Amino acid sequence: MTSAKVKVIFSDVGGVLLNNGWGHQSRQKAARVFGLDHTEMEVLHNFIFNVYEIGKISLDDYLNTVVFNHPRHFTKEDFRTFMFAESVELPDFLQWFKAWKLRCPFRVISINNEGKELNDFRIKKFGLHDCFDAFISSCEVGMRKPDPGIFSLAMGIAQVSPEECVYFDDRLMIVQAADKMGIKSFHHQDFASTRNILEELI
pTM (2 d.p.): 0.92
pLDDT value, residue 4: 57
Q: Mean pLDDT over residues 74-88, rounded? A: 97
Are 144 and 53 in contact by the 8 Å Cβ rule? The answer is yes
176 Cβ contact partners less than 8 Å away, ≥ 6 residues apart: 185
For the chain, the C-alpha Rg in angstroms (whole number) is: 18
Domain boundaries, the chain: 8-20+88-201, 24-85
Half-sphere exposure of 192 (CA within 13 A, CB side): 0
Amino acid identity, position 186: F
Cα–Cα distance, 159 to 165 (Å, whole number): 10
Q: What are the contacts of 121-130 at 24+ separation with CB within 8 A?
A: 121/84, 121/87, 122/13, 122/18, 122/21, 122/87, 125/84, 125/87, 126/17, 126/18, 126/87, 126/89, 126/94, 127/98, 128/13, 128/17, 130/98, 130/101
| CA distance from start to end of the chain | 10
Dump pLDDT digits (tens) for 120-162.
999 999 999 999 999 999 999 999 999 999 999 999 999 999 9
How many residues does the structure list for the chain? 202
* pLDDT value for 135: 98
pLDDT of residue 132: 98
Q: Is the pLDDT of residue 1 over 80?
A: no
Mean of all residue pLDDT scores within the chain:
96
Quickly count: other Cβ atoms within 10 Å of residue 24's Cβ. 11
pLDDT bin (cut points 50, 70, 90) of residue 21 is: confident
Give exposure, 40-61, as e/b (b: 16+ Cβ within 10 Å). Answer: ebeebbeebbeebbbbebebee
CB atoms < 10 A from the CB of 70, how many? 8
Q: Strand ranges (DSSP E) for 113-149?
A: 134-137
pLDDT of residue 118: 97
137 bridge partner residues: 112
- Is domain 24-85 annotated with CATH 1.10.150.240? yes
Question: Per CATH, the architecture of 8-20+88-201 is what?
Answer: 3-Layer(aba) Sandwich (3.40)
